[in-house]
């Protein structure tokens, strides 16, 4: 039996590969500053956020700043990969219109949140006087929500595709 990839399969694979390359490039660019990103995204006070920035040396701050420019492209890549995956899974398995709508909206909302988070993070890097509890809490809430939406969609897709592949002819 030969595997026939559809046009949507090829798009999904292509966007997924592009996501992995983009993610790897972000990690490479961040280098030793990479752990600080998650710390900053989950800081819920001005003091905690400032401490994250203070942990960075000059080179890490340069890397941190540089990553933002790459991260202004990354959200559209993961949102497109995830929404393409939802479309393909919906072709392969029954999915209610509500579930499909939620799963196609979640990555777009996550990407929008990512853009907001990036803009604020880049601004705060040069405007430390703007780091307030309110700003940090709002931005961290957006960050955590972004992660939940994107990873939730990925989790749903992963379990859905595993089920489809497990039922594929020749797998029994």
pLDDT tier for residue 170 given thresholds of 50, 70 and 90: low
**Confidence at residue 168, expressed as pLDDT on a 0 to 100 scale:** 75
pTM over 0.95: no
> Mean pLDDT, the chain, as a whole number?
94
Distance CA 85, CA 54 (A): 40
Q: Provide the token pair at 16.
A: 């997924």
For range 32-55, the mean pLDDT:
95
Q: Is the predicted pLDDT of residue 55 greater than 90, yes or no?
A: yes
**Confidence at residue 166, expressed as pLDDT on a 0 to 100 scale:** 87
pLDDT tens digits, one per residue of 12-27: 999 999 999 999 999 9
Decide: 45 and 136 in contact? Cβ < 8 Å: yes
Q: Provide the token pair at 98.
A: 């509500």
Distance CA 172, CA 163 (A): 13
């Amino acid at each position: 039996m030969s595997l026939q990839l559809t046009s949507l399969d090829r798009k999904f694979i292509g966007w997924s590969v592009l996501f992995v390359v983009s993610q790897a490039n972000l990690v490479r660019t961040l280098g030793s500053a990479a752990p600080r990103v998650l710390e900053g995204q989950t800081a819920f006070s001005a003091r905690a956020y400032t401490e994250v920035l203070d942990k960075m040396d000059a080179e890490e701050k340069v890397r941190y700043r540089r990553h933002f420019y790459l991260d202004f492209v990354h959200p559209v890549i993961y949102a497109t990969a995830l929404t393409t995956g939802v479309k393909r899974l919906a072709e392969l398995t029954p999915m209610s219109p509500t579930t499909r709508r939620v799963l196609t909206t979640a990555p777009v909302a996550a990407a929008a949140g990512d853009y907001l988070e990036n803009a604020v993070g880049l601004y705060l890097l040069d405007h430390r006087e703007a780091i307030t509890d309110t700003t940090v809490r709002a931005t961290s809430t957006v960050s955590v929500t972004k992660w939940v939406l994107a990873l939730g969609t990925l989790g749903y897709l992963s379990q859905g595709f595993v089920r489809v592949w497990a039922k594929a002819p020749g797998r029994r």
